[in-house]
Amino acid sequence: MKQLTYRILLNREPEGGYTVTVPTLPGCVTYGENVDEAISMAKEAISLYIESLIAKNEK
């Protein structure tokens, strides 16, 4: 399987934790209590996003 690399943006939230967005995948947003969790959640969100695109036969 081809490995893809995506840039993620972590935004520290005033109430704590981090919101993560993936600029090249519109609507792909997740959250983590700390940086490590946010990165892990981003990987999962990206995977699910791509699975959804494949299931819908979208590019």
| Inside any domain, residue 1 | no
Contact 46, 28 (CB under 8 A): yes
| Inside any domain, residue 3 | no
Looking at the 3D structure of the chain, how many domains does it have? Answer: 1
Handedness of CA 18, 22, 23, 28 (dihedral sign): negative
Side by side, the strands of the sheet bearing 18-21 are: 9-12, 18-21, 29-32
Instruction: Name the CA dihedral angle for 40, 30, 24, 35, rounded to a multiple of 10 degrees.
Output: -40
| Inside any domain, residue 26 | yes
Q: What is the pLDDT of residue 1?
A: 62
Domain membership of residue 13 as a residue range: 9-55
Contact 16, 4 (CB under 8 A): no
Q: What is the pLDDT of residue 12?
A: 98
pLDDT single digits (tens) 20-52: 999 999 999 999 999 999 999 999 999 999 999
